[in-house]
Amino acid sequence: MEVLGEGARSHREVASVLVGLMLGLFTTVSSSMIVVNALPAIASGLGTTSSGALWVVLASLVTMTIATPVWGKLADHLDKKRLTQASILIFVVASIGAALAPGLGALVAMRALQGVATGGLLAMSQATLGAITTPRQRGAYSGYLGAVMSVATLCGPLIGGIVVDIPGLGWRWCFLLLLPLAVAGLVIVQLTLRAPATRAPMRVDLAETIGMLRNRTTLWAIVGSVSLGLVTFSSVLFLSQYLQLGRGYSASTAGILAVPMLSATLVASIVAGHLVARRGRVGGVLLGGSVLMAAGFAALATVGVSAPDWLAIVATIPVGAGIGMLMQNFVLAAQNALDHLWVGRVSATLSFVRSLAGAAGVAGLGAIVAGLAGADPEPAAQARATGVVFAIAAFASLAALVAAFALRGQRLRGTI
């Protein structure tokens, strides 16, 4: 149930709502990256270049970035249940449109609409959880949301790679395969999230927004989220390229080889969430996650093509663990520092900067890879180019470490 100001809900009530949110979130976030391993097949099927096909990824990231703060603003004034349902319905329509797209332009347009829906689910999941739990309770539940988001980001390419390699399916099924989960999430939200619409005057208050951004904790959470965004999407995309073009694996095998990273993300996110809930602090988890992420990228930067395959896979594990520990806890730190009426806006702001950094990272690092490796790279050239990208990611991870150090002493409150 969702009534602001009434206090925290029972575990059973929160868990019921959380299941619906996680189903919708997994579907939309997975779909953002599901085409990563399918890009060569999409380019071939639509008769475009690999650089043109990259817009299939960028379109959803850009619109997700733009839409998330808008949904967050709406979440603080309107009925969260209706907004969540609207996000899922938009996603379903866009997914069907993407599967039926006759050309690259139509596919990019539908992917852009998918990004709008994903932005809605990102904002609404955080805002809804913030409305029904205290910050200290939220640590454990945020761990599950963080696990879903992180695993969905990493699992999308795995699903896409397998779908592309299955005879008789093809890349268009990437947009249809997960739709039943979205519909199930829609039904669960309808049955479990019951509340009268929250209606308040809609206005843009620049002074209040500046006040939020002047909060020290919020600013450091933004710094950490930017660092995380820069490396999260890029790690998935360029790890896939490294395994396929640098090591010669198929799309489905490249996805399977990402499973250790995915598993580390899942376990670390859930364990970190329970640690935060038990201890009432986020600093230790943020510091540990930042160190692991930076160390993992530094190791990946040195792998190249001559090292054994297992070494490259092992190096992804601390990256996955670090992402899992950081994904939700920067958000939790910012939520804890502000009044509960700001939950939607501050959550959306952090999702916005993380997504913006992710889109910029994919575009910028993609240009670096293209410049270093050329249009038709040899495996060694591709491996060297992605090694440079991983080195940049390791350096960018240091910003998350600085932010985590600044937030090390924050204690979570026990009231909404």
Residue 338 in contact with residue 212, Cβ under 8 Å?
yes
> How high is the pLDDT of residue 294?
92
198 is a domain residue: no
Q: Give the structural domain span for 374.
A: 11-193+205-406
Is residue 302, in this structure, part of any structural domain at all? yes
With CA atoms as reference, report the closest residue to 292 among 273, 258, 259, 269. 269
Whole-angstrom CA distances from 117 to 45, 67, 100, 122 are: 26, 8, 18, 9
Q: What is the pLDDT of residue 413?
A: 62
| Tokens matching residue 353 | 């900067």
CATH code for the domain in which residue 270 is found: 1.20.1250.20
- Give CA–CA dist 318/293, Å, rounded: 6
Q: What are phi and psi of 35, to 5 degrees?
A: -90, -5
pTM: 0.70
Token pair of 139 as six digits: 């640590």
Whole-angstrom distance, CA of residue 359 vs CA of residue 370: 16
Give the pLDDT of residue 374: 65
139 closest CA partner among 345, 335, 287: 335
Residue 1 lies in a domain: no
Domain count, the chain: 1
Q: Which two tokens stand for residue 173?
A: 């099924």
* AA identity, residue 303: V
For the chain, the residue count is 416
Q: Buried (b) or exposed (e) across 208-239, using 16+ Cβ within 10 A?
A: eeeebeebebbbbbbbbbbbbbbbbbbbbbbb
CA distance 357 to 336: 23
196-202 long-range contacts (CB < 8 A, ≥24 apart) are 196/3, 196/79, 197/78, 197/79, 197/82, 198/4, 198/77, 198/78, 198/79, 198/80, 199/77, 199/78, 199/79, 200/76, 200/77, 201/77, 202/73, 202/77
> One digit per residue, pLDDT tens: the chain, 416 residues?
333 344 456 667 778 888 888 888 888 888 877 887 777 788 878 877 666 777 888 888 888 888 888 887 787 777 778 888 899 999 999 999 989 988 888 988 999 999 999 888 888 887 777 777 776 666 677 777 777 877 787 678 778 878 888 877 888 888 888 889 888 988 888 888 765 445 555 555 555 567 667 778 888 989 998 998 888 877 777 777 777 777 777 777 777 787 888 888 888 888 888 888 787 777 788 999 999 999 999 988 887 667 777 888 888 899 989 988 888 788 888 878 776 667 667 777 887 888 788 878 877 887 887 777 766 567 777 778 888 888 888 998 999 999 989 888 777 765 55
Whether residue 199 lies inside any domain: the answer is no
Look at residue 351 and tell me if it is in a domain. yes
2 in any annotated domain: no
Question: Based on the number of CB atoms within 10 Å of its own CB, is 244 exposed (0-12), middle (13-18) or buried (19 or more)?
Answer: buried
Residue located via tokens 């501050």: 346
Q: Is residue 90 part of a domain?
A: yes
Within a domain: 200: no
